[in-house]
């Protein structure tokens, strides 16, 4: 699923466009016991309740594809009788009206989802009438297909903090009643995936709020899919691989790593057009070239390249997934600082070279003497004839007439005269 597919489903999740047919849920306590279960027609909900559920459902479509949103594929075995893809197909076809299937689904989630604390399992059923679109993305008044899907959201339920509040019945300030509050989803999925505006029963869209710890156990045990790493996991894993070899917390290794980040950033394609450019995948061969370009020694490059190949063999990351923008920015500041230092050194050298000028006196020239000057002037050619000497306060001074609209710089610093 690309961004357009995700956005098409997400923007429908408002009262006047939503077509959810049914909502089922199960509240689970910290001991993994089912406290209560429910099922009802979605559009029969009161407005306040309906809007809260829509907000939760919408969150499952939020975040960055490849990081918060991962498209997982079902192995062939899961599409056979008794497989988890087949189980989800049965749930979808029942439109969540089969109580036995619903209880089996809740039990399956409880068995395969690892979470410390209370949580709420929500399952929505939807049937979206996908309209045919013209090449300029306008909808025609005819249906292309009916995309029937399930949306699951697993939400933490937490106890509000203790505090004081106004007790209306007693007309006084007292301890506030603590409530169990349903939060935004921690994990969720959409089945089947919506790829190129059509149902893809071989894939499922997986959502995670925490991109550092995305509940890989639920991808595998709950959905029956091979776990995928989020972009955040790939970036942190890559950093760990590199720093384990080149070291860290010293100036040399930090500079090397920042160089690597800068060269990776240069591989990210930039497009002036509205369409997103195709991402550049960083293979093991590409990472070897980048490490060499960044100044990593040959032996260390070989070790990093081999580990990189072993870790990312199945799904090499994109360039953008390995880049830390903060480090790229720091690298830019470092380069600017070094360039400035280099420019200052060059200016100092030029100044010293200028001060050591050969004298014009013939006697000194014959003797090969070099005389240094304490005052060196650089003026526009038209100002040369205006310069003259004058005794001021008993000292010989050089006088340079200045018009009101003229400016001067002394040793490179602007000054007013």
- Token pair, residue 7, equals 């956005």
Looking at the chain, the whole-number percentage of residues with pLDDT higher than 70 is: 87
Count the Cβ atoms, other than its own, within 10 Å of residue 208. Answer: 24
Mean of all residue pLDDT scores within the chain: 87
pLDDT for 358 beyond 60 = no
Phi, psi at residue 120, to the nearest 5°?
Answer: -120, 125
Count the Cβ atoms, other than its own, within 10 Å of residue 230. Answer: 24
pLDDT for 355 beyond 60 = no
pLDDT, greater one: 135 or 44: 44
What is the three-class DSSP state of 42?
helix
> What burial class does residue 294 get, using C-beta atoms within 10 Å of its C-beta: 0-12 exposed, 13-18 middle, 19+ buried?
buried
Looking at the chain, the whole-number percentage of residues with pLDDT higher than 90 is: 57
Residues 389-400: tens digit of each pLDDT: 888 888 888 888
pLDDT at 248: 75
pLDDT at 132: 80
Mean pLDDT of 62-69: 94
| Alpha helices in 2-142, H assignment, sequence order | 3-10, 47-59, 84-94, 99-112
Residues 289-342: tens digit of each pLDDT: 999 999 999 999 999 999 999 999 888 999 999 998 887 787 777 666 666 777
Do the beta carbons of residue 159 and residue 138 sit within 8 Å?
no
93, 210, 297, 336, 405 from 113: Cα distances, Å: 24, 14, 44, 49, 77
pLDDT band at 100 (very low <50, low <70, confident <90, very high): very high
Whole-model pTM: value is 0.76
pLDDT, greater one: 389 or 375: 389
Do the beta carbons of residue 225 and residue 203 sit within 8 Å?
no
Count the Cβ atoms, other than its own, within 10 Å of residue 64. Answer: 14
As a whole number of angstroms, the distance between CA 379 and CA 235 comes to: 56
pLDDT at 415: 66
């Amino acid at each position: 699923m690309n961004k357009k597919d995700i956005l098409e489903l997400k923007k429908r999740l408002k009262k006047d466009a939503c077509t959810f047919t049914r909502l089922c849920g199960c509240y689970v306590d910290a001991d993994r016991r089912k406290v209560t279960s429910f099922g009802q027609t979605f559009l029969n909900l009161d407005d306040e309740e309906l809007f809260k559920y829509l907000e939760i459902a919408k969150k499952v479509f939020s975040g960055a594809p490849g990081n918060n949103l991962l498209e997982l594929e079902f192995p062939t075995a899961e599409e056979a009788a008794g497989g988890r893809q087949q189980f989800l197909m049965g749930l979808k076809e029942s439109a969540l009206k089969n109580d036995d299937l619903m209880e089996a689904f809740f039990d399956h989630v409880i068995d395969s989802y690892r979470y410390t604390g209370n949580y709420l399992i929500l399952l929505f059923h939807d049937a979206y009438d996908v309209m045919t679109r013209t090449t300029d993305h306008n909808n025609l008044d005819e249906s292309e297909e009916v995309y029937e899907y399930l949306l699951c959201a697993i939400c933490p339920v937490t106890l509000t903090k203790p505090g004081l509040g106004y007790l209306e019945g007693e007309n006084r300030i007292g301890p506030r009643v603590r409530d169990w509050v349903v939060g935004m989803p921690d994990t969720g999925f959409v089945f089947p995936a919506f790829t190129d505006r059509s149902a893809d029963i071989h894939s499922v869209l997986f959502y995670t709020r925490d991109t550092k710890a995305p509940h890989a156990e639920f991808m595998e045990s709950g959905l029956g899919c091979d776990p995928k790493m989020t972009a955040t996991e790939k970036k942190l894993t890559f950093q760990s691989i590199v720093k384990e070899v080149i070291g860290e917390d010293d100036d040399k290794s930090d500079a090397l790593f920042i160089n690597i980040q800068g060269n990776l950033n240069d591989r990210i394609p930039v497009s002036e057009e509205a369409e997103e450019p195709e991402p550049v995948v960083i293979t093991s061969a590409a990472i070897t070239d980048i490490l060499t370009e960044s100044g990593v020694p040959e032996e260390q490059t070989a070790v990093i390249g081999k580990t990189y190949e072993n870790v990312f063999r199945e799904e090499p990351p994109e360039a953008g997934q390995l880049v830390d923008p903060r480090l790229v920015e720091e690298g830019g500041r470092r380069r600017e600082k070094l360039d400035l230092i280099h420019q200052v050194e060059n200016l100092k050298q030029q100044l010293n070279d200028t001060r050591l000028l050969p004298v014009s006196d013939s006697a000194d020239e014959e003797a090969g003497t070099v005389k240094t000057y304490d005052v060196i002037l650089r003026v526009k050619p038209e100002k040369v004839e205006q310069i003259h000497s004058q005794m001021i306060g008993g000292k010989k001074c050089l006088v340079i007439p200045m018009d009101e609209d003229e400016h001067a710089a002394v040793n490179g610093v602007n000054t007013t005269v």
